Every structure is written in C-alpha cells, then in structure tokens.
Amino acid sequence: MLSHRCMKVREPIEPNQSLMLSLLTTLGFLTRFSDVCPPGPADPTRLLSAAKSTELFGTVSMLAGCVVPTGKCIPPRMTALAASTFSLYVSLALVDVNTFQEVLTVEGPLSLKLLDVMTRILNCSANSVIGTRSGESSTMLIDLIASMAFFSVNNRRHQDLLISDTFAVIFKNLAKLSAQFNPVIYPFLVTMCHNNAPARQLISLDFDLGLLDEYSKSEAAKQNCWVCMAHNNSNSNSNNTNNKNNSSSSSSNNTINKNNSSSNSNSQQNRALFSNAISLSRCHSELVCVCVCVCLPRSHTK
C-alpha cells in the first residue's frame, strides 16, 4: 500500500507540498523499517520480497519522473525526495545486497532509469558552486554514491554498465566533487577497479590510480564494507576453486558449510562498518573534510 504512493508519481511535484510530505514520510518509514530488519537473505519480515515485487517500492520510476533539474540545479524539495530515496536504497542493500542488485539487474529497464537519474543529479552537483551546496544536497550525494557502490560491488555486469559510453560521464562528475566526498568516492572506485582492467583504464582518465592503490592499502580501506566485500568475494572464489580440486569430498563440504555459516556474521559486520562510516559522513561533514585532508591527498584527480 505504501509503495502505491511512489508508483503514482510520474511528473515533477515540487509545488505539491502535501504530496511531497506524504512521500517523504513513506520513504522515511520504509528506511527505518529496513534499518531494524535482520541482515541476510532469510527475509523473516518479508521486506525483501516486497522490494522485489514492487521494484523497490516504485521509487525508481518516481525518481525518473519527478527529479528534473531546473536550470543547473535540483529544486530543494526534489533534493529532499532524492536524498530520502537513496537513503532507503542504502538501508535495503545493507539488509541484502544480492536482492538489491537482483531487482536492478541489467536485463531490465530499472537499472537504466536509475543510472540516468544519478547521472542527471551528479551533473548538476558537479557543476554547482561548492559554497552553495546545502546539507541536504551533500547527504543526497553521499547516499547516491553509496547506492552505486552497492549496485556494482562484485557484479561485473553492473560495473560494465557503469563504464559504458552512456554512463562513463559519472566518473568525470565524481572527479569534480569536493574532497568532502572522498570517503565514499575512493572505496567505490577501488571496488570498481578490483579485478576489472577496463574499469581501471576508464577511471584512470579522471583519477590518479597511484592514489587509489595507496588508499586501497590503508586502514580506512580495510575497514570499508565495500572493499571488504570485494576481497571476501575473491577469497571465497579462491576457496571454492580449491575445494573443487580437493580429493576429499567431506573436507570440501565442511569448508562450504563453514563459509555459509559465517555469511550472516559477515553481513552483520559489514552493516555495522558501513552504518558507522555513513553516519559520520552524514552528520559530521566538516570533520570528514578534515580527515580527508589528513589521510588522503588534497587532489584526487590527475
């Protein structure tokens, strides 16, 4: 029932304050509900199945229809709506990233719609004057980048879509953003480059790969959930290969069972790591800027 409110929106609603408040309330409720759901694919609350059947509660089509730039900026109420939507995506991905990616599969039109909206927003934000960017806008961008990271981590087909000619401009716009966003941009780029030579080559046009490699070895990267997910996936693939070559089937089964039993623990750990990091970025942007200046090079471009 709640998703029907979002599904009905197909045009800009900036002047309609009552509808805007209703949508923001709906998105806020879904986000808070997602935050308290246990992580993993078990789905005892049926949240994930609802997200699938409603194509993420109708929010992608809503964004595609109503988030339309006015001149070189996104109107304030549209910014608030986009910020609430991307916050919901982050919360859903933290429950189960596989479900999040499954709904946005490249076979369907949903991923193209979402990336088109993200491209429009990033284009406006990258070309805006930094001093005029509101706190709401900064929060929106943080969760937008986080949503892209969850969309692409350990998913080569989604990564290939991001580096395609249609959406490659995303990385050029990311390079124009201020250092405030480096704590989310850097780990996103590291996971894009992980075992992906074409993505690495494209990203090198706008970012210094040496700085990215340096960051990937830092303590901050080791504590980042996306980087951990990428590395854990590589280790899992390596273990599965070794298991297949193992002559002892019982030993192989025991290893697989151990990996499965630890998956929920890893999901909970990743959720905690990301929740702490994203809360810091959202609530203490000035402190993040200071940390970035200390921990990372001042310029992230070549």
Mean pLDDT of the chain: 79
How far is the C-alpha of 26 from the C-alpha of 37, rounded, in Å?
17
Would 242 be classed as within a structural domain?
no
Would 138 be classed as within a structural domain?
yes
Q: What is the pLDDT of residues 225-245, one digit of tens each?
A: 999 998 887 666 655 545 555
> Contact 193/211 with Cβ under 8 angstroms?
no
Would 236 be classed as within a structural domain?
no
> What's the farthest any 2 CA atoms get from each other in the chain?
68
Give the CATH number of the domain where residue 53 resides: 1.25.10
pLDDT of residue 258: 41
Would 254 be classed as within a structural domain?
no
Would 53 be classed as within a structural domain?
yes
Would 235 be classed as within a structural domain?
no
How far is the C-alpha of 175 from the C-alpha of 98, rounded, in Å?
28
If one counts the domains in the chain, the total is 1
Handedness of CA 274, 276, 277, 282 (dihedral sign): positive
Would 253 be classed as within a structural domain?
no
- Say which amino acid occupies 14: E
Q: What is the pLDDT of residues 79-118, one digit of tens each?
A: 999 999 999 999 999 999 999 999 999 878 899 999 999 9
Query: What mean pLDDT do residues 22-33 have?
Result: 93
Sequence-separated (6 or more) residues with CB below 8 Å from residue 164: none
28-32, 97-101, 251-255: segment of lowest average pLDDT? 251-255
pLDDT band for position 284 (50/70/90)?
Answer: very low
Give this prediction's pTM.
0.81
pLDDT band for position 19 (50/70/90)?
Answer: confident
How far is the C-alpha of 43 from the C-alpha of 53, rounded, in Å?
14
- Say which amino acid occupies 50: A
Give Cα 58 distance to the centre of its chain: 18
DSSP single-letter state for residue 296: S
Q: Which burial class, exposed, middle or buried, applies to 217 when counting CB atoms under 10 A from its CB (0-12, 13-18, 19+)?
A: exposed
Q: Which domain range does residue 148 map to?
A: 2-230+263-295
Would 300 be classed as within a structural domain?
no
The CB-side HSE value for 103 (13 A sphere, CA atoms) comes to 23
pLDDT above 70 (res 149): yes
